[in-house]
Amino acid sequence: MRFLIEGKWLDLKEIADREEKDVKEIKVIPLGGTDLSSHFLVLIRTQEPPHYHDHHDLTITLIKGKGELYLDGKRYSLMPGDSVLIPAKKVHFFTNTSVVSALLATFSPSYDGKDSIKVKEVK
C-alpha cells in the first residue's frame, strides 16, 4: 500500500517488511501529519494493552498480517485492507495472530502520544 504524505510516496508494506525484524512487541513509526491529523505505522508482534483515547478519533487500516480487534465489547477479525473507525472514548486493542501485523493509524486531531488511557479489565 502506498501512502502519499507531505509530498512523498511511502510504501507502507515495504517499510513494515524492513522494520519487522526489530519488533519485540510493538513498534510505532511516525509518518507525519498536520495540526488536524497525524499518521503512524504500527507494527505489532504481540498485543496492545486495552486502552482508549479520551480526545482522539482513530482510524486503523491493516496493511500486513492478520489479527483481532477488540472494540467496545466486541471482537472483529481483520485482514489486510480492512479499515476501522475507533471513536474517542471507546476501549480497544489489537491482538496479532500472524508473525507481525502492520497497521496505518490515523489520529484526529494530531496525536502526541499522551492521550492513551490504559484499562485494567475489559468486559
Stretch 45-70: mean pLDDT, rounded?
A: 97
- Per residue in 74-110, pLDDT tens? 999 999 999 999 999 999 999 999 999 999 999 999 9
Domain segments of the chain as ranges: 2-118
Per-residue three-class SS string for 20-69:
HHHCCCEEEEEEEECCCCEEEEEEECCECCCEECCCCEEEEEEEECCEEE
pLDDT tops 80 at residue 24:
yes
pLDDT tops 70 at residue 62:
yes
Report the pLDDT value the prediction gives residue 29, as an integer from 0 to 100: 97
pLDDT tops 90 at residue 123:
no
| Cβ contacts of 34 within 8 Å, gap of 6 or more | 110
The arrangement of secondary structure in 2-118, i.e. its CATH architecture, is: Sandwich (2.60)
pLDDT tops 90 at residue 122:
no
Specify the 3-state DSSP secondary structure of 103: strand
- Mean residue pLDDT of the chain comes to 96
Q: What are the φ/ψ torsions at residue 95 (nearest 5 degrees)?
A: -115, 120
Report the pLDDT value the prediction gives residue 120, as an integer from 0 to 100: 86
pLDDT tops 80 at residue 46:
yes
Tell me which DSSP letter residue 80 carries.
T
Angstrom CA distances, 19 to 13, 41, 113, 120, stand at 10, 10, 21, 30
Report the pLDDT value the prediction gives residue 108, as an integer from 0 to 100: 97
At 108, the amino acid letter reads S
Q: How much of the chain exceeds pLDDT 90, in percent?
A: 96
